């Protein structure tokens, strides 16, 4: 039987098989399989798995199908493994709130690059628009004006933008990622009131979320809607991207980059760089360019530590 992994906790995985939810364990050989050793968990939410019924009637995952893509990050520390947040995704929704916690577009850009590395379409969702003013929204839209990113501004409180959000996720497996407290779960609750997932207030003291959602979980609240809620992320290390490859994931640069004298050009220090000229002319948002430079320097640092 074939199923899709909905949730993993400890040694157990919930798998949906023919519409039934089955609690499964993993067959031992999957834990030791060579090609799965580089991952912090051999099986991830969204994996398509082969399930057999064990002697005592419980499910056992005996194999998994090749993944079409993964959304993963690098674990902290040396010899770190790859932490797969979910696999086989049609859309990554990067959620941030305007306030509580505050916007951090550099973090958005980092996640967006990771999605593009696996060619997964992205929707940027800026939530808590009810706490923002017109200038806040304009800043975000200007920042991404040349990035070709799809953007929706939402409020789980007033319902603004939720129809657009819902249209985006229809008939897709959509993954929601973002800081704790940005409102990922609240948006799902507002869209599908019957699911009643747990949410909680932002901490008054730190202005941050309280890590209310503790497991990655795929839900199917209605036919045609498959959404993966995740615990808030704060650290997000990118794996296996050479600094020279980064600029290709910034569509804002795509017209200018062809005219740069140096190839490859990192658009940082090279003379006669057209990307820099476009920034000066205002055709690429200076803060977005700065965000690129920050990402570039973090990749350079990572590479020099790993390979020198």
Ligand X SMILES: Nc1nc2c(ncn2[C@@H]2O[C@H](COP(=O)(O)OP(=O)(O)OP(=O)(O)O)[C@@H](O)[C@H]2O)c(=O)[nH]1
The footprint of ligand X (CB under 6 A) covers 127-128, 130-131, 155-157, 180-186, 199-202, 209-213, 231-232
* Binder among 154, 185, 266, 276 for Mg ion (CB under 5 A): 185
Question: Beta-carbon neighbour count of residue 26 at 10 Å?
Answer: 19
CB of 296: closest distance to ligand X in angstroms?
28
* Binder among 24, 49, 191, 275 for Zn ion (CB under 5 A): 275
CB of 113: closest distance to Zn ion in angstroms?
18
Site for Mg ion in 193-212 (CB under 5 A): 212
Q: Is residue 43 within 8 Å of 30, Cβ to Cβ?
A: yes
Please work out the total of residues on this chain that contact Mg ion, with binding judged by CB under 5 A: 4
Q: Is the dihedral of CA 197, 216, 97, 144 positive or negative?
A: negative
Distance, CA of 233 to CA of 257 (rounded, Å): 32
* Residue 265 in contact with Zn ion, rule: CB under 5 A: yes
* Residue 213 in contact with Mg ion, rule: CB under 5 A: yes
Q: Is residue 158 within 8 Å of 302, Cβ to Cβ?
A: no
CB of 124: closest distance to ligand X in angstroms?
15
CB of 256: closest distance to ligand X in angstroms?
36
* Binder among 49, 91, 93, 260 for Zn ion (CB under 5 A): 260
CB of 243: closest distance to Zn ion in angstroms?
13
CB under 5 to 8 A by kind: which of Zn ion, Mg ion, ligand X, none does 42 bind? none
**CA proximity to 230, closest of 245, 247, 216, 251:** 216
Between residues 114 and 184, which has the closer beta carbon with respect to Mg ion? Answer: 184
Between residues 131 and 290, which has the closer beta carbon with respect to Zn ion? Answer: 290
* Residue 288 in contact with Zn ion, rule: CB under 5 A: no
CB under 5 to 8 A by kind: which of ligand X, Zn ion, Mg ion, none does 131 bind? ligand X
CB under 5 to 8 A by kind: which of ligand X, Mg ion, Zn ion, none does 273 bind? Zn ion
Between residues 222 and 272, which has the closer beta carbon with respect to Zn ion? Answer: 272
Site for Zn ion in 48-107 (CB under 5 A): none
CB of 258: closest distance to Zn ion in angstroms?
10
CB of 190: closest distance to ligand X in angstroms?
8
Between residues 98 and 253, which has the closer beta carbon with respect to ligand X? Answer: 98
* Binder among 124, 273, 278, 299 for Zn ion (CB under 5 A): 273
User: If you compute the radius of gyration of the chain from its CA atoms, what whole number of angstroms results?
Assistant: 21
Binding-site ranges for Mg ion (CB under 5 A): 184-185, 212-213
Binding-site ranges for Zn ion (CB under 5 A): 260, 265, 267, 273, 275
């Amino acid at each position: 039987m074939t199923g899709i992994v909905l949730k993993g906790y400890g040694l157990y995985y919930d798998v949906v098989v023919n519409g039934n939810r089955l609690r499964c364990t993993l067959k031992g050989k999957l834990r030791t399989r060579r090609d799965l050793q580089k991952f912090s968990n051999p099986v991830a939410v969204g994996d398509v798995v082969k399930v057999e019924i064990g002697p005592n009637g419980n499910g056992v995952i005996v194999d998994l199908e090749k993944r079409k893509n993964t959304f993963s990050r690098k674990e902290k520390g040396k010899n770190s493994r790859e932490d797969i947040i979910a696999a086989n995704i049609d859309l990554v929704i990067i959620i941030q709130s305007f306030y509580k916690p505050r916007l951090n577009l550099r973090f958005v850009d980092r996640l967006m690059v990771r999605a593009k590395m696996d060619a997964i379409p992205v929707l940027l969702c800026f939530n808590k628009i009810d706490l923002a003013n017109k200038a806040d929204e304009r800043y975000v839209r200007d920042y991404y004006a040349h990035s070709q990113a799809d953007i929706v501004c939402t409020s789980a409180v007033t319902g603004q933008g939720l129809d657009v959000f819902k249209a985006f996720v229809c008939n897709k497996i959509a993954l929601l990622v973002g800081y704790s407290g940005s409102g990922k779960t609240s948006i799902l609750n507002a869209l599908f009131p019957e699911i009643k997932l747990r949410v909680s207030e932002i901490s008054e003291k730190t202005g941050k979320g309280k890590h209310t959602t503790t497991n990655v979980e795929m839900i199917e609240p209605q036919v045609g809607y498959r959404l993966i809620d995740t615990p808030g992320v704060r650290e997000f290390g990118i794996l296996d991207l050479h600094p020279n490859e980064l600029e290709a994931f910034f569509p804002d640069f795509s017209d200018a980059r062809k005219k740069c004298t140096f190839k490859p050009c990192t658009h940082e220090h090279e003379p006669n760089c057209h990307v820099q000229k476009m920034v000066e002319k205002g055709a690429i948002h200076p803060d977005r360019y700065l965000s690129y430079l920050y990402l570039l320097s973090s990749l350079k640092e990572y590479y020099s530590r790993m390979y020198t």
